[in-house]
């Protein structure tokens, strides 16, 4: 079925002029004259049958109709550009930029990445870590954050649950047994600046009445977990992120509960690339891996 599309040169001129709200700046972007942009925009307005710019002296300003149309058409232009890049790059290495929380990257993602590499051998995965909100980071295709949350201009999906339980080294447990949650009062509790209320919430859920006097704080959660491995105290460990440490015996859980539900993990993809095959493959892989966690 034939699509009712405006002439592409006129559409391209509209998008450039609308983005800058300037015919001159649009001409510079497309390497044509101000007059050429003006003629193409006029042709576009004639084709759609309404005015998309208001002329204010020598300046132009989008109408409300023009602004609504731009918001929808820019996503289509991004999709065309992405598809074209993928077509031109057939057979070469593709790049996927992932921004993940540091502890998640170290404890869960990195041990599994070799499996993704086998599935996608022509993909160069560039991994960066950050605790910053998604809207404050640049240069990523997929981010991993705890949620749910509102991530503007992004698609997202939940893929991994998390629960928290005290963990410590076997040597520490041998030196000073922990049989009930109240026994934690004799131990140093390892805190993280990125999860400041975690211990308070867990102790309340466990009904601990004794005051825990000893405390040591770290700016990153993975440092608190490493301190637990090294026998410096008891950390509130996230499951299943610590599955390898527990399986190897580097960490143990003094008791089975309560397991306090924590915020789960979500993949967050920029909307303009969310349906790109490589992005979808990676997000689907995350969801499949969570079933095996």
Bridge-based pairing of strands 234-239 and 154-167 is antiparallel
Same domain membership, residue 256 and residue 171: yes
Q: Does residue 237 lie in a domain region? A: yes
Q: Is residue 232 a contact partner of residue 216, using CB atoms and an 8 Å limit? A: yes
Q: Does residue 41 lie in a domain region? A: yes
Q: From 58, 88, 118, give the residue that closes a domain.
A: 88
Same domain membership, residue 110 and residue 79: no
Cα torsion at 117, 137, 103, 157 (round to 10°)?
A: -70
Q: What's the structural domain count of the chain?
A: 3
**Amino acid 104: pLDDT:** 93
- Spatial neighbors of 247 by CB under 8 A, at least 6 apart, are none
pTM over 0.85, yes/no: no
**Amino acid 197: pLDDT:** 87
Same domain membership, residue 169 and residue 136: no
Q: List the domain range (segments joined by +) for residue 280.
A: 94-158+266-290
- Spatial neighbors of 36 by CB under 8 A, at least 6 apart, are 13, 27
**Amino acid 237: pLDDT:** 87
Taking every pair of Cα atoms in the chain, the longest distance, rounded to a whole number of angstroms, is: 83
**Amino acid 159: pLDDT:** 94
Mind listing the pLDDT tens digit of every residue in the chain (293 residues)?
457 888 888 888 998 898 889 889 988 988 999 899 999 999 999 998 999 999 887 788 999 998 889 888 877 777 777 677 666 655 455 889 999 999 899 989 998 999 998 888 888 899 999 999 998 888 899 999 998 899 988 999 999 999 999 999 999 999 989 988 988 888 999 998 888 888 989 988 988 876 767 888 888 888 998 999 999 999 998 888 888 889 899 999 998 888 988 899 999 999 888 888 899 999 999 999 876 65
Q: Does residue 248 lie in a domain region? A: yes
Sign, CA torsion 167/173/178/179 = positive
- E strand or H helix at 35: helix 34-48
Q: Does residue 3 lie in a domain region? A: no
């Amino acid at each position: 079925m034939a699509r009712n599309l405006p002439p592409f040169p006129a559409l391209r001129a509209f998008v450039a002029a609308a983005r800058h709200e300037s015919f001159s700046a649009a001409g510079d972007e497309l390497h044509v004259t101000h007059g050429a942009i003006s003629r193409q925009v006029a042709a576009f307005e004639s084709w759609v049958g309404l005015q998309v710019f208001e002329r204010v002296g020598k300046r132009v300003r989008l109408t409300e109709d023009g602004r609504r149309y731009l918001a929808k058409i820019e996503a289509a232009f991004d999709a065309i550009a992405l598809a074209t890049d993928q077509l031109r790059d057939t057979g070469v290495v593709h790049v996927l930029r992932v921004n993940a929380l540091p502890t998640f990257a170290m404890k869960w993602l990195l041990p599994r990445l070799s499996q993704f590499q086998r599935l996608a051998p022509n993909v160069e995965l560039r991994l960066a870590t950050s605790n910053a909100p998604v809207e404050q980071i640049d240069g990523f295709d997929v981010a991993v954050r705890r949620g749910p949350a509102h991530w503007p201009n992004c698609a997202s999906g939940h893929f991994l649950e998390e629960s928290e339980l005290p963990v410590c080294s076997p040597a520490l447990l041998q030196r000073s047994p922990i049989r009930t949650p109240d026994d934690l009062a004799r131990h140093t509790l390892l805190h993280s600046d990125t999860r400041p209320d975690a211990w308070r919430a867990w102790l309340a859920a466990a009904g601990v009445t004794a005051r825990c006097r000893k405390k040591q704080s770290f700016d990153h959660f993975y440092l608190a977990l490493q301190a637990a491995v090294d026998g410096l105290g008891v950390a509130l460990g996230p499951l299943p992120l610590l599955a390898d440490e527990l399986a190897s015996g580097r960490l143990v859980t003094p008791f089975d509960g309560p397991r306090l539900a924590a915020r789960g993990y979500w993949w967050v993809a920029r909307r303009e690339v969310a349906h790109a095959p490589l992005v979808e493959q990676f997000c689907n892989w995350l969801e499949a891996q969570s079933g095996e966690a």
